[in-house]
Structure 1
């Protein structure tokens, strides 16, 4: 592929994933990713701050999509129902390619730096959801609790979807996990 061909970011992402899986994240350099994509390291840095950001490039889009979905949810439903709208939005974006998601998660699970970056991403999402809930009039403590519970649902559903043998889509797994949360927290 020549430099003039389009979708440089997509080519770099694909090359990075191939090399990370083949050689390991830590053993792969930016120069190798760029060469694999038929591009230069300079082009790589136009699209990504560093090699880990290849795996987190959609984080801002995910955060924005979830906050917009939460904001668009009816105000009549209560905080967890509103957070459920954000989870639906996440499933819509992330539930498209289980194979790629499995590879990505496997890389994250085996590298402390990537695990830390993933935790930071999830904390940012929780903070943004809580802020949006507060803006909608939910008391601060309830907003934080609902947002953090939503992130817990997200993580459990994500893991189940990635490791599950069933063919359930991510949205279905998110809804089922949210229902389980309600069941396990119900007063006896």
Structure 2
């Protein structure tokens, strides 16, 4: 079991680790709020720390500048999307899997899209994929099997997987989701249904 001193040290270490994770998460949630409200990335770590309810020194322990914050925020979004996409049952029929993945995508984007539109890369999806961008590569590796299953199942014509994912990713751009929510006041269910139909049509499914 260890000595009382060792157990006390272990508890202290766990608490420090927990506090670190909590303050980091608070900073990332604050970044999302600031991005959505200010509609730009021109805020300082001091402003971010105030919004998060932590000290500026704590903010600097996590990030050296706002670029690191935005990178970490985007990584979190990709991680969450990948996690939910990966949970779609692999043994479902290809079309049903694709439709479920589309609903996951819209549901996620509806939450963070107003913030994410301000931190998009100037480079295209395929350019970043070919450039070995780690996040884009991970996202592609999750999305590509959905389109390949559609091809194998005869739901869409055989085509270059990179192109199929590019078409899908373009139609589900967070700016499109925001526009449909704000301008047409569509629900997330309707957005998912309409974009799914559009994506299938763009990928060559005749009765989409």
Q: Does 1:162 align with 2:178?
A: yes
Unaligned 5+ residue runs, structure 1? Answer: 109-113
Instruction: Assess if the C-alpha contact under 8 Å between 2:30 and 2:48 holds in 1.
Output: yes
Q: CA RMSD in A?
A: 4.1
**Offset of residue 127 of structure 1:** 2.9
2:8 corresponds to:
none
2:139 corresponds to:
125
Q: Does 1:102 align with 2:114?
A: yes
Report the 3-state secondary structure (helix = DSSP H, G, I; strand = E; otherwise coil) of the residue aligned with 1:53: helix
Q: Does 1:65 align with 2:117?
A: no
**Offset of residue 66 of structure 1:** 1.0
**Offset of residue 87 of structure 1:** 1.5
> Over residues 114-157 of structure 1, what are the superposed CA-to-partner deviations in whole Å (9 max), with x where a residue is unaligned?
42489454554233222576699949x658255444323322xx
Pairing of 1:13-24 with structure 2 (within 5 A)? 13-17=28-32, 19-20=34-35, 22=38, 24=40
User: How many residues in Structure 1 have an aligned counterpart in Structure 2?
Assistant: 166
Larger radius of gyration between Structure 1 and Structure 2: 2
**Offset of residue 24 of structure 1:** 4.1
1:111 corresponds to:
none
2:190 corresponds to:
172
Cα distance change, pair 132–49 in 1 and its aligned pair in 2 (3 A): farther
| Partner Cα distance (2:185, 2:39) in 1 | 30
Q: Does 1:11 align with 2:26?
A: yes
Report the 3-state secondary structure (helix = DSSP H, G, I; strand = E; otherwise coil) of the residue aligned with 1:130: helix
2:4 corresponds to:
none
Cα distance change, pair 24–143 in 1 and its aligned pair in 2 (3 A): closer
1:33 corresponds to:
48
1:115 corresponds to:
121
Pairing of 1:40-55 with structure 2 (within 5 A)? 40-45=58-63, 50-55=68-73
Q: Does 1:91 align with 2:106?
A: yes
**Offset of residue 176 of structure 1:** 1.0
Using structure 2 for the length normalisation, give the TM-score: 0.57
Instruction: Assess if the C-alpha contact under 8 Å between 1:73 and 1:85 holds in 2.
Output: no
> Over residues 46-95 of structure 1, what are the superposed CA-to-partner deviations in whole Å (9 max), with x where a residue is unaligned?
xx9912125312211211211321x4351xx34x5432222222223333
Using structure 1 for the length normalisation, give the TM-score: 0.62
